[in-house]
Chains A and B, each alone.
Chain A
Amino acid sequence: MDWGSLFTNAAYEIISPTTAAYALAAMGLAVHFGYTGLLNFGQAGFMAVGAYGFAISTLTFGFPWWAALLTGIAASVVLALILGIPTLRLRADYLAIVTIAAAEIVRLLFTTNTFAAVTGSAAGLSGYKTSWQAMNPIPAGNYNIGPWVRDHNEVWLLIVAWGLVGLAALLIWLLMRSPWGRVIKGIREDEDAVRALGKNVYSYKMQSLVLGGAMGAFAGMVFVLPRSVQPGNFQPTLTFFIYAILLLGGAATIFGPIIGSMIFWTLLSIFSGFTARAVEIGWLPFMTSLQAGQVRFILVGIALMVIVIYRPQGIFGSKKELAFVKQ
């Protein structure tokens, strides 16, 4: 029974590339929901087109990493336009319905056998990292990061992933303190008031949808770099976890999504490590280790409920700017 590794494993979740990926996806949702008031329930779809755009353009068309990256982003922009053009003139709930449906359509298109030659269908895709790893400037070998030892590829991914998180945070900060951000926050509260002041609300909502969607695509690419592309990873539950992260950190904040993602993954790791070990040593005799793997989500759910009940504005949010509780 190794309780010490439970905590070192959990602590690594603070900086793991997956945490960075979820932080990026949550920052995209912060732009959509937190700042603009757009109910995007299909962030998993944006992540999927980013990930598949990257993998397919590499494997099928032999694109180098940078062209593959641009393909993933372009795919998310196209998805944002397809979703936005018909819905952004309508009431807010239409976007919610359309995005959740579209994200499922995207996932099912990647899962179906019809396009298996390109998408790998249910088995997914792998082997798209060669060009990406070839441009790794870090000499091959193992490196100590605090208490952890990681190879050059992981270190390179960590640098890029958190670099992207930093750039996204900087971009959101610059935008939201600008007159552009003022219009966006006005729209969140009452789009007719903003329209009456001569602002093209439709265009701003579209810009917001594209920006947050592109952040989702970056998140999808970062998410699949330490693993393979699996359609099952882009279920609607992914979107709900990202919403949980967003609300945990604070919906209309810069650092909320980042800290929210760190807390989410650390809690998840602690709970799964704990339940696995507890089952192992017979503390939970009524449970198999497979069931224990699911219990962590229940525990995370409870932890999130507690936080949202006692701090509805999230960790960083201001109560005065609560997007989902209007005064």
Chain B
Amino acid sequence: MSNSDMQTKTTAKPVKATDLHVGGPEDMLPGVPKRDPIVVATNITRTFGGLKAVDVESLQIPRNAITALIGPNGAGKTTLFNLLTGFDKPDTGDWALNGKSLKGVPAFKVARMGQVRTFQLTKALGMMTVMDNMLLGAQNQTGEGFFQAIIPSMWRKQEDDITERALDLLERFKLVKLKDDYAASLSGGQRKLLEMARALMCRPELVMLDEPMAGVNPALTQSLLSHIIDLKSEGMTVLFVEHDMQMVKHIADWVVVMAEGRVVAEGDPKTVMRNQAVIDAYLGSNHGKDLGTDTDTVNTMKELLDDQR
């Protein structure tokens, strides 16, 4: 990708996907079916001791759109991510990607099927270089077989190809200068970027980002947001967790609100933010914290929203 392409991409106004659910505006209720869902989940529950961390009757993620999963701390967002990606097992429920059930499918197979996640606490591999982190993301590598590994001629060509793809992505994520550095030497924000770029090496269909913006300094926030928007324009589906309603408003096509393990509201960002249940459950408890004190973030968002006008 050339530089000028990138410029146009990053400054492009996000084009919102609309008409994602079945029915009219009055049908934007928790569990509403989608016209073209990529993930369909029903009756997912998970309890820790006596605590019902997740209790989702029905949830569908619309394809080729950006869906934000929001809700106060402890709402069960990360737990739901773990359940959907095979990192944790629910007590009950069934869920499917592209119609294929993921129930009981181990995490690595879920990733191979095209549903790739990142973690709330970044898992950049610090003792490996940035480039090695990236190459680890590529799928179907011949050289990852024990016996093939011993014969470099069997995987050299593929290694060159994925290295080139990794360089492209690193260029896009402005990490290319750091490619030979150990990931441990990166800043928190750069690690988030690396983890996202590494996930893209898998060529996912659905990217699930758990708080991609948390702890990222405001200078990098905008670039992260624009990368998320780019994913959609490249045909991917994004599900991301975020606390900050303003950011969500800016990039999400659809918003799912969780509180105390349940989906309490769903809809397009504007509708959801007017929803009384959301204001009570989410903004009510988190108001001062999320929107008031984090002035850096608020300022960035103001700039972003200004860009939009």
List chain A positions with a Cβ less than 8 A from chain B. Answer: 171, 174-175, 178-183, 185-186, 188-190, 192-201, 207, 211, 320-322, 326-327
User: Does B111 contact A174, Cβ atoms closer than 8 Å?
Assistant: no
Residues of B within 8 Å of A, CB-based: how many?
41
List chain B positions with a Cβ less than 8 A from chain A. Answer: 85, 87, 106-109, 111-112, 116-119, 123-128, 132, 135-137, 139, 141-146, 148-150, 152, 155, 159, 182, 184, 198-199, 201-202
User: Does A197 contact B136, Cβ atoms closer than 8 Å?
Assistant: yes
User: Does B127 contact A196, Cβ atoms closer than 8 Å?
Assistant: no
A326 cross-chain contacts in B, Cβ below 8 A: 126-127
User: Does A186 contact B117, Cβ atoms closer than 8 Å?
Assistant: no
Q: Is the interface of A mostly helix, strand, loop or mixed?
A: helix
A175, B149: Cα distance in complex, Å: 6
Among B119, B141, B143, B184, contact of A192 (Cβ-Cβ < 8 Å): B119
User: Does B108 contact A200, Cβ atoms closer than 8 Å?
Assistant: yes
B117 cross-chain contacts in A, Cβ below 8 A: 196
| 20 A-B contact pairs sorted by A residue (CB < 8 Å) | A174-B149, A175-B149, A175-B150, A178-B150, A183-B136, A185-B128, A185-B132, A186-B136, A189-B127, A189-B128, A193-B123, A194-B136, A195-B87, A196-B118, A196-B119, A196-B123, A197-B198, A198-B108, A198-B111, A200-B108
Among A171, A211, A320, contact of B127 (Cβ-Cβ < 8 Å): A320
Among A181, A190, A201, A327, contact of B108 (Cβ-Cβ < 8 Å): A201
If the complex has contacts A195-B107, A195-B108, are A189 and B202 also in contact, measured as CB distance less than 8 A? no
User: Does B143 contact A179, Cβ atoms closer than 8 Å?
Assistant: yes
B201 cross-chain contacts in A, Cβ below 8 A: 197
Closest B residue by C-beta to A190: B123
If the complex has contacts A182-B132, A195-B111, are A171 and B146 also in contact, measured as CB distance less than 8 A? no
A174, B149: Cα distance in complex, Å: 7
A193, B87: Cα distance in complex, Å: 11
User: Does A185 contact B127, Cβ atoms closer than 8 Å?
Assistant: yes
In addition to A186-B125, A195-B108, 9 A-B residue pairs with Cβ atoms within 8 Å of each other are: A174-B152, A175-B146, A179-B159, A180-B143, A183-B136, A186-B136, A188-B127, A189-B125, A198-B139
User: Does B111 contact A197, Cβ atoms closer than 8 Å?
Assistant: yes
User: Does A321 contact B119, Cβ atoms closer than 8 Å?
Assistant: no
User: Does A178 contact B198, Cβ atoms closer than 8 Å?
Assistant: no
Among A171, A188, A198, contact of B112 (Cβ-Cβ < 8 Å): A198
Most chain A CB within 10 A, of B109, B111, B125, is at B125
Among A174, A183, A193, contact of B119 (Cβ-Cβ < 8 Å): A193
User: Does A179 contact B135, Cβ atoms closer than 8 Å?
Assistant: yes
A11, B150: Cα distance in complex, Å: 35
User: Does B123 contact A179, Cβ atoms closer than 8 Å?
Assistant: no
If the complex has contacts A189-B126, A207-B146, are A196 and B184 also in contact, measured as CB distance less than 8 A? no
Among A171, A190, A193, contact of B150 (Cβ-Cβ < 8 Å): A171
Closest A residue by C-beta to B137: A197
Closest B residue by C-beta to A322: B127
A199, B184: Cα distance in complex, Å: 22
User: Does A186 contact B108, Cβ atoms closer than 8 Å?
Assistant: no
User: Does B108 contact A178, Cβ atoms closer than 8 Å?
Assistant: no
A186 cross-chain contacts in B, Cβ below 8 A: 125, 128, 136
Cβ distance A276 to chain B, nearest Cβ, rounded Å: 44
Which 4 pairs between the two chains have the least Cβ-Cβ distance?
Answer: A179-B143, A180-B149, A178-B149, A193-B123
Cβ distance B191 to chain A, nearest Cβ, rounded Å: 11
Among B124, B152, B199, contact of A178 (Cβ-Cβ < 8 Å): B152
A193, B118: Cα distance in complex, Å: 8
User: Does A178 contact B107, Cβ atoms closer than 8 Å?
Assistant: no
B145 cross-chain contacts in A, Cβ below 8 A: 180
A322 cross-chain contacts in B, Cβ below 8 A: 127
B152 cross-chain contacts in A, Cβ below 8 A: 174, 178
Cβ distance A33 to chain B, nearest Cβ, rounded Å: 14
User: Does A179 contact B125, Cβ atoms closer than 8 Å?
Assistant: no
A232, B55: Cα distance in complex, Å: 58
A190 cross-chain contacts in B, Cβ below 8 A: 123, 125
Cβ distance A173 to chain B, nearest Cβ, rounded Å: 10
A194, B201: Cα distance in complex, Å: 13
A85, B182: Cα distance in complex, Å: 33
A198, B112: Cα distance in complex, Å: 5
User: Does A199 contact B128, Cβ atoms closer than 8 Å?
Assistant: no
User: Does B149 contact A181, Cβ atoms closer than 8 Å?
Assistant: yes
User: Does A180 contact B144, Cβ atoms closer than 8 Å?
Assistant: yes
Cβ distance A87 to chain B, nearest Cβ, rounded Å: 17
B182 cross-chain contacts in A, Cβ below 8 A: 320
Cβ distance A177 to chain B, nearest Cβ, rounded Å: 8
A320 cross-chain contacts in B, Cβ below 8 A: 127, 182, 184
A195, B88: Cα distance in complex, Å: 13
Cβ distance B113 to chain A, nearest Cβ, rounded Å: 9
A207, B145: Cα distance in complex, Å: 10
Among A179, A188, A196, A199, contact of B85 (Cβ-Cβ < 8 Å): A196
Cβ distance A184 to chain B, nearest Cβ, rounded Å: 10
A182, B142: Cα distance in complex, Å: 13
User: Does A199 contact B127, Cβ atoms closer than 8 Å?
Assistant: no
Closest B residue by C-beta to A201: B108
Cβ distance A88 to chain B, nearest Cβ, rounded Å: 13
Closest A residue by C-beta to B204: A198
A208, B137: Cα distance in complex, Å: 20
Closest A residue by C-beta to B117: A196
Among B109, B135, B139, contact of A182 (Cβ-Cβ < 8 Å): B135
A186, B135: Cα distance in complex, Å: 11
B144 cross-chain contacts in A, Cβ below 8 A: 179-180, 182-183, 199
